[in-house]
């Protein structure tokens, strides 16, 4: 096969037929998509541009075999990038027409995107503005619970993406905490997992991926009965006076009727939608995939938290940031030049 030249690429993207976005617009949208959350900030996606379309592929070279042996987190991460792209395009004046898993012969080809001119409303611009402000906040949250009306709006937001969302309370909440702690114990006893954590967290300044020490709380990562994932030692200070044991964060579980790549992709899109909605509402948030990365605890969440009615895909923790918390720094991101290339042609 012959690759199109960079000049051809520029002609294809910036010179798309009338009614198509130009190169600057496509690159801006891909840059916003690159701000999506991903497991260990691995950013396991790549994009290819055609004359009238954009294509999302899973990048398996950035997979985490010890953390995510089935590749479920990887596809959820790609779904979050897809939704970020949709939001960015909408704010830039383009509706994304999505064809999910368009080619059964290419399972890593997760989506093909076509473009339709679109008049953005203020709500689209506001949601896009939340993208660079969103952070995964692993600190203790305030002792003030999030209002029920906001939580119910987050549930509606997920359901609008075809994914169910459950605000976890009571006995189900206790079971989720048990599953989370059990998964942490199993993973931390695995030398391969420990090596992977060291590789992807506490990364040096200038890295383009991974979780820097500046985004990892120093000290305890146990907030009441919730055990957070243990990364490399961090330098992020907790906000205000000690709130350990007083965290009023809320846990939501996103779930789907099936457990395949299409379901995971949609769960990732719903994850992005919920996180951006939470950010726009002023809430802190953090995705939690650890209890679903171990087969035993994933089944526990399915049976004891969801009553066996659906397949869990991700846990999201939301709440108010602790009093006087410092703003979180942005985690590193891969440059667009590494993410976007022209589509191969015969």
pTM of the model: 0.93
* Distance in angstroms (rounded) separating the CA atoms of residues 123 and 108: 32
What is the b/e burial string over 171-197, where b = at least 16 CB atoms within 10 angstroms of the residue's CB?
A: ebbebbbbbbbbbbebbeeeeebeebb
User: What is 6-133+332-342's CATH number, 3.50.30.10, 3.30.565.10, 3.40.50.920, 3.40.109.10?
Assistant: 3.40.109.10
- Condensed to tens digits (0 to 9), the pLDDT of residues 134-183 reads 999 999 999 999 999 999 999 999 999 999 999 999 999 999 999 999 99
CATH class name, domain 148-319: alpha beta
Query: Which tens digit of pLDDT belongs to each residue from 65-102?
Result: 999 999 999 999 999 999 999 999 999 999 999 999 99
Is there a common fold for 6-133+332-342 and 148-319?
A: yes
| pLDDT given for residue 6 in this prediction | 32
Domain boundaries defined on the chain: 6-133+332-342, 148-319
Residues of the chain with pLDDT under 70: 1-18, 239-245, 345-346
């Amino acid at each position: 096969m012959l690759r199109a030249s960079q000049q051809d690429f520029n002609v294809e993207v910036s010179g798309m037929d009338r009614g198509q976005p130009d190169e600057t617009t496509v690159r801006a949208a891909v840059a916003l998509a690159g701000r999506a959350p991903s497991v260990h900030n691995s950013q396991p996606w790549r994009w290819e541009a055609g004359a009238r379309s954009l294509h999302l592929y899973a990048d398996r070279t950035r997979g985490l075999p010890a953390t995510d042996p089935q590749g479920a987190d990887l596809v959820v991460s790609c779904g979050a990038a897809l939704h970020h792209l949709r939001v960015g395009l909408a704010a830039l004046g383009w509706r994304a027409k999505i064809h999910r898993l368009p080619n059964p012969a290419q399972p890593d080809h997760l989506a093909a995107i076509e473009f339709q001119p679109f008049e953005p409303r203020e709500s689209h611009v506001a949601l896009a503005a939340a993208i660079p402000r969103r952070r995964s906040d692993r600190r203790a949250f305030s002792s003030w619970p999030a209002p029920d009306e906001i939580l119910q709006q987050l549930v509606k937001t997920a359901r609008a993406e075809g994914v169910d969302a459950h605000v976890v309370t009571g006995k189900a909440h206790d079971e989720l905490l048990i599953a989370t702690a059990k998964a942490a114990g199993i993973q931390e006893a695995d030398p391969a997992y420990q090596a992977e954590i060291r590789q992807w967290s506490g990364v040096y300044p200038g890295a383009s991926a991974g979780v820097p020490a500046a985004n990892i709380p120093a000290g305890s990562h146990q907030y009441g009965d919730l055990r957070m994932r243990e990364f490399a030692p961090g330098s992020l200070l907790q906000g205000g006076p000690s709130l350990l044991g007083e965290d009023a964060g809320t846990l939501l579980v996103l779930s789907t009727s099936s457990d395949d790549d299409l379901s995971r992709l949609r769960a990732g899109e719903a994850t992005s939608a919920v996180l951006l909605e939470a950010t726009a509402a002023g809430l802190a948030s953090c995705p939690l995939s650890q209890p679903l990365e171990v087969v035993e605890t994933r089944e526990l969440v399915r049976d004891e938290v969801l009553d066996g009615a659906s397949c869990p895909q991700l846990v999201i923790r939301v709440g108010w940031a602790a009093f006087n918390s410092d703003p979180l720094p942005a985690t590193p991101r891969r440059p667009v030049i590494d993410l976007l290339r022209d589509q191969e042609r015969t």
